[in-house]
Amino acid sequence: MKEAFVDKNISLTIRDTDIPVPGPGQVLIRVVVSGTNPKDWKMPPLWPTDGTPANQGDDIAGYIEAVGEGVMAFHKGDKVAAFHQVMTPHGSWAEYAIAHDYTTFHIPAKTSFEEAATIPLAAMTAALGLYQRLKLPLPWNPTTEPLPLIVYGGATAVGAFAIKLARLSNIHPLITVAGKGSAFVETLIDREKGDTVIDYREGDEVVRAKIQEAAWGRSIHYAYDAVGEHGSHQNLGAVMTVPGEVTTMELLPSSIYQPPEGITMSWTIAGSVHFPPAAGKTVEDAEFGAALFQFIGRGLAQGWFKGHPFEVRPGGLAGLEGALHDLRAGKASAVKYVVRIGETEGVNP
């Protein structure tokens, strides 16, 4: 099979490799479309630690090809999307990829593979932050009281999914911060329930003033920072009410920014759905992820959940290098880059 590897300089090579075999609790997926994420260019300089080029792809959309021992919910030919385990072999930048059964979900015939490939990592990152870190009301037990929430970076895929999920939880007002993707964010929020979009390009002081104004005098105790840079931590720390909780995707935020007393920060990574429960606990991120992915699959089938806008990069796997460089340059706004594996030179249609 054809498989793409990226080195620490974000240079790509495509090799012929063996088709992997699923282990217990795993599924082998024939990849139709793979997604990309900012972590795909951020990780190569850090992992593998010896600098070996790696297949960093984690967003899979395709068909079940084979299942490992103990897998009961999936069968060959099923149309699925899946979240590959970060920093392990056999990612989505290949004709075939491996995922665990609990990070795989069925997608309906009406959902394109391109749309499905935008969902796994970003939607799970959003969900973990909202529900496992901030402990906000779940969609199947929505709040009935006003609950202000700041989503910083609403046009990013993670931010957009955070908005979509928060609305399912009836969380309002949603105070979203965005830039050139503001028009897209407007399509996600509900102005009638007090939601708003604030343009960070107006400057930090304006952003802080408008966040407080958008709360209509209510305390702001929760924030999802889907940016984690360019002053987002500082702006949130300046406007939130004690006790306040911020979750961010930025690596080790406490070492970069010390929040004011009474404002706590947590770190959200989608990869935690692959961590087994700690000793003495039966339900943690892995079990939450398993339930949430099935919830998303139902939402796609019933029409109350959708993926993120996408742009197909031409050339199949060969298109990944340009996509990663554009991600690093910050060119992706309100869009996810995806590739169709079948467009890769040498792949049989």
pLDDT at 252: 45
User: Other C-beta atoms within 10 Å of 329: how many?
Assistant: 9
Pairing of strands 149-152, 222-225: parallel
Phi, psi of 99 (to 5 degrees): -145, 160
The domain made up of 2-119+307-343 is a member of CATH 3.40.50.150: no
pLDDT by residue, tens only, the chain of 349 residues: 999 999 999 999 999 999 999 999 999 999 999 999 999 999 999 899 998 999 999 999 999 999 999 999 999 999 999 999 999 999 999 999 999 999 999 999 999 999 999 999 999 999 999 999 999 999 999 999 999 999 999 999 999 999 999 999 999 999 999 999 999 999 999 999 999 999 999 999 999 999 999 999 999 999 999 998 888 999 999 999 999 999 998 654 445 678 899 999 998 989 999 987 777 767 799 999 999 999 999 999 999 999 999 999 999 999 999 999 999 999 999 999 999 999 999 997 6
pLDDT at 231: 86
Pairing of strands 96-100, 104-106: unpaired
117 contacts: CB under 8 Å, gap ≥ 6: 33, 34, 35, 59, 60, 61, 81, 92, 307, 310, 336, 338
Q: 0.85 exceeded by the pTM? A: yes
For residue 225, list its beta bridge partners.
152, 248
Pairing of strands 310-312, 59-67: unpaired
Domain spans in the chain, listed from the N-terminal domain onward: 2-119+307-343, 123-273
Note whether 282 and 290 are within 8 A (CB): no
**C-alpha–C-alpha distance, residues 316 and 58, integer Å:** 16
pLDDT at 253: 47
pLDDT at 254: 46
CA dihedral 156, 161, 163, 166 (to 10 degrees): -150
123-273: CATH topology: Rossmann fold (3.40.50)
Smallest CA-to-CA distance from 291 within 124, 95, 157, 88 is with: 124
pLDDT at 250: 67
Tokens 């930048």 belong to residue: 93
